[in-house]
Structure 1
Amino acid sequence: MSYGLIATLLFSSMMLLLLTGQRIFAVIGFVGAAAAALLWGTGGIEIPFTAIIKVMKWYPLLTLPLFVFMGYMLAESKIADDLYKMFHVWMGGLHGGLAVGTIFMMVIISAINGLSVAGMAVGCTIALPALLSRGYDKVMVTGVIQAGSTLGILIPPSVVLVLYGMIARQPVGNLWMAGVFPGLLMASLFILYVVVRCWLQPNLGPPLTKAERDEYTFAQKLALARAGVVPLVIFITMTGLFLTGVTSLVESSAVGAVSSILAAWWRGGLNWKIMHDTVKKTLGISCMFFWIITAALCFGAVFDGLGAVKSIEGLFLGELGLEPWQVLVLMQLTFLGLGMFLDDTAMLVIVAPLFIPLAGALGFDLVWYGVLYTITCQIAYLTPPFGYNLFLMRAMAPPEVTLPDIYRSVLPFVGIMLLTLLIIGMFPGIATWLPNYVYSK
């Protein structure tokens, strides 16, 4: 049996098992381990165990639970509520100002939590009711919250980039630095869209009335600004210590976790229930990602042994005569297609064993390619029929926000993400300049 046919059987078996509804990591790991045993006998059984040892020895992976803990602690202690109130007061006087403030809030939440679900939870429970009560267009603000929450997987500390770095064997610090400017660019385009649309259609985002604006004195507004200072100080402290070389990446994540506990205590929102809930949620998320990474490494090792990457490279460049950039476009289109049916981690463990090594073999910077992959994951979060954020919004939105509203709301933001993907693809320096500058010193 040819290696190409074996690779095809592996993928078809995996997709068939996924249709049974089993957990992703279980399917990927089982197919990889079973294939290793059938192909190489007793020696092949060592492959899944080697993957586990590799994960356990990968020191930067400790950043994942620490950053997840930090984000959940700040959310559970209601610091995010104070943050939204600050933006509500400071920006509510503008047309669409509360929606713009929501995007700013999402950027800050993304900088303290590497998960999209945290931004969705805060946006749906805090921002969405306030926006709807102020007469904002439900379709527009639903899209703002869904798109804004995806910034959590691009702006550091991104958990998705940690997973990518593990599989692509790239430094997580470089990947995080590469995500800064693309993340801010995307957030800026979101804000520009909201501002322009509310300028053209003022009824979509009415400002606060004069009486509501006069409710707070300037001194009270300054006092509310403290809500934004706490997350900002935490982010600047941990990233500043890391970039100046005072702490390592893992030590910086520990600084962030400890700082979040101190911030919750300072606000008066720290108790045993919050600590218990935060630790429990952190443990659940961390264990899930551990098994996903292990399964992906096992599956990838089998593909490396089959030489599948070399075969695909020969097919695209040799037999089909495609240019490297044409192959890159095909890979991204594949990601976009899969994103309509799978979440980001599923895409990573299914196609990463092929696409990441292939991108490196074609001469592309794998740090830059990691940013392209992450933006594609953001699009996957929003694209029907199985967009992850679409389901979260349906579960948390009030009854007046219908499923057709949710689907329509993401269309302009998906367009903005595609535009960002095109800009980063055409101008790689937007992603690569900061890591090259930081790590060249």
Structure 2
Amino acid sequence: MSIEITTLLFFLSLIFFLVLGLPLAFVLGGVSVLFLYFTWGADAFYMVASQMWGTMGSFTLVAIPLFVFMAMLLERTGVARDLYRMMHLWCGGMRGGLAVGTLGICAIFGAMVGISGAAVVAMGTIALPAMLERGYDKRMVLGCINTGGGWGILIPPSIMMILYAMISGVSVGKMFAAGVLPGLLLVALTVIYVLGRCFFQPHLAPALPKEERGSWGEKLRAIRAVILPIGIVAMVLGSIIGGMTTPTEAAAMGVLGALISAAVYRKLNWDIVQEAAIRTFKLTGMIAWILFAAHAFSSAYQGMGAQSLIEGLMMDLPGGRWGIIITMMAVVFLMGMLLDPVGIMLITLPVFLPIVASLGFDPIWFGILFVINMEIGYMTPPFGFNLFYLKGIVPPGITMRDIYWSVIPFVIVNIIGLGIIMVFPEIATYLPNLLF
């Protein structure tokens, strides 16, 4: 059987079982193992097991459950509520101030937890009702929470970056450093969009009345809310960038910071620790199966010789090497509407990374573009994870249609940011080159 027919059958089988609703990790791993057996015979199974065993011995992997555990603990402390109170006092006096404050809190959460859902749930529970009560446009509010929640996978530390580093072989520390400036760029672009739109359409986000703005004494006391979050960010990112710890050791420091935060807010008890640990075990177990599926897929893909076929097709695209990169981004963007980000990584990275290397592009820079696209995938209809996180916590008057429409301008803002980083790759590469 020719390589073209084998590749077509391989990907059609994946799509067929995914459409049936089966778990992606088992579909990807199961189909890959079957194709391996019929391509190389039973001996191929030893190769997958050997690769998996080598991966499970990686010290970097320990960072994943630690960062997840830290996120689960922080989600249940009073950090988000106090941060929102501070932003309420300091930003509420200007048009769109509460929306900008919400974006700021999402950025702080992104720098603490490394996953997407925590900020969406926290701000959807605290900020959404408060802004709706004060006359904010519901689609503006929903869009801010949706896009801000996605920054958790771009602003380091990021579990998605750890997985990218594991698959691509690049340094986790360099990926974390590369995510800082692009993350700040997207935050700045989104804030500029919100303030600009509120300037021309003030009815979308009215300023708070004077009696709600608080005195200077209240504002200054509220600043205490950022001490713990900044301390956690400094413990995690500062120790990595300063060369004092590895990402795994920094994750352990982050857990310590989360435990201290829970104790300060008097939320540290056995029930919270137990619940956070159980949720961490579940998510980490899922990631372990995903890694197995990734190795099986990579082995099957290379064993069939599909890599050379895809490379040949890519090289024939118009526009030269930039046309290839733009096509890759377009493919990932479309897949983000239908699949979860980890699944997209497993399917595309074994195909794309050799091509990126052969074209002479920096894999760190490409990784940041990829992660931004994954962040956009969290917020794009019809199956973006953040859309469903929001739907689970919004008031009854907000429909799924409202949530879908709310994200469109924010997706455009993120795409503009992606384009800027493509044109000016130094935004992603400057810090890694400076610090490492």
Give the shorter-chain TM-score range: over 0.9
Q: Which moved more, 1:187-196 or 1:394-403?
A: 394-403
For the structure 1 residues 34 and 306, does the alpha-carbon distance in structure 2 shift closer, same or farther, using more than 3 Å as the test? same
Report deviation, 1:48: 2.9
Indicate the residue corresponding to 1:414 in structure 2: 411
TM-score normalized by the length of structure 2: 0.97
CA distance in structure 2 between the aligned counterparts of 1:262 and 1:391, rounded to whole angstroms: 31
Cross-structure match for 1:354: 351
Say yes or no: does 1:363 pair with 2:360: yes
Residues 258-297 of structure 1: CA deviation (Å, up to 9, x unaligned): 1110121122121111111111122222221221122112
Choose the corresponding residue for 1:269, options 267, 270, 278. 267
Residue 173 of structure 2 contacts residue 240 of structure 2 at CA under 8 Å; is this kept in 1?
no
CA distance in structure 1 between the aligned counterparts of 2:369 and 2:236, rounded to whole angstroms: 26
Determine whether 1:316 maps to 2:314: yes
The answer to whether the 8 Å contact 2:317/2:323 transfers is: no
Letter of the structure 1 residue corresponding to residue 261 of structure 2: A
Q: Give the conservation status (yes or no) of the 8 Å contact 1:95–1:205.
A: yes
CA distance, structure 1, for counterparts of residue 81 and residue 356 of structure 2:
42
Partner residue, 2:171: 171
Asked if the contact 2:120/2:145 (under 8 Å) is kept, the reply is yes
Distance 1:349 1:66 in 2: 22
In structure 2, the partner of 1:22 is: 22
Query: In 2, distance between residues paired with 1:77 and 1:385?
Result: 32
Q: Which residue number in structure 1 is paired with residue 200 of structure 2?
A: 200
In 2, Cα distance between equivalents of 1:26 and 1:416: 35
- CA distance 1:320–1:248, change in 2 (3 Å): closer
Q: Is the 8 A contact 2:173 2:246 kept in 1?
A: no
Q: 1:340 aligns to what?
A: 337
Q: 2:250 aligns with which of 246, 249, 252?
A: 252
Tell me how far apart the structure 2 counterparts of residues 372 and 248 of structure 1 sit (CA, whole Å).
24
5 Å-filtered alignment, 1:260-299, equals 260-299=258-297
- Identity among equivalent pairs (%): 40
d(CA) in 2 for partners of 1:173, 1:39? 38
Corresponding residue of 1:385: 382
The two structures, once aligned, show a CA RMSD in angstroms of 1.5
Q: CA deviation at 1:307?
A: 2.9
1:398/1:321 CA distance change after superposition, 3 Å: closer
Q: CA deviation at 1:221?
A: 2.2
Distance 1:344 1:19 in 2: 16
Taking the TM superposition and a 5 Å limit, the aligned residue runs for 1:391-406 are 391-406=388-403
Q: Give the 3 Å change call, closer, same or farther, for CA 109–320 of structure 1 in structure 2.
A: closer
Aligned 1:172-191 pairs, distance under 5 A: 172-191=172-191
Distance 1:337 1:207 in 2: 38
Change over 3 Å in CA distance of 1:321–1:205 after alignment to 2: closer
Q: For residues 55-110 of structure 1, give each alpha carbon's deviation from its aligned partner in whole angstroms, at most 9, with x where no partner exists.
A: 31121111111111112211112221111111111111111110000000000000
Aligned runs of 1:205-244 on 2, under 5 Å? 205-213=205-213, 216-244=214-242
Whichever residue aligns with residue 376 of structure 1, its letter is N
SS at structure 1 position matched to 2:404: helix
Q: Aligned match of 1:431 in 424, 428, 433?
A: 428
- In structure 1, what is the Cα distance between the partners aligned to 2:257 and 2:337? 38
Tell me how far 1:182 sits from its aligned partner.
0.7
Structure 2 partner of 1:375? 372
430-439 vs 320-329, which deviates more? 320-329
Match of 1:111, SS?
Answer: helix
Segment drifting more, 162-171 vs 421-430: 162-171
- Equivalents in 2 of 1:314, 1:404: separation in Å? 41
TM-score normalized with structure 1 length: 0.96
Please report how far the alpha carbon of residue 322 of structure 1 lies from its aligned counterpart in structure 2 after TM superposition.
5.5
Q: Which runs of 5+ in 1 are unaligned?
A: none
Measured after TM superposition, the shift of residue 144 of structure 1 is: 0.5
Secondary structure of 2:41 counterpart:
helix
The whole-number CA distance in structure 1 between the counterparts of 2:379 and 2:56 is 33
- Tell me the equivalent position of 1:97: 97
Q: Which amino acid aligns with 1:372?
A: L
**Shift, 1:331, TM fit:** 1.1
Opposite residue 284 of structure 2, the aligned amino acid is S
**3-state SS of 1:273 partner:** helix
SS of corresponding position for 2:42: helix
The offset of 1:408, in angstroms, is 1.3
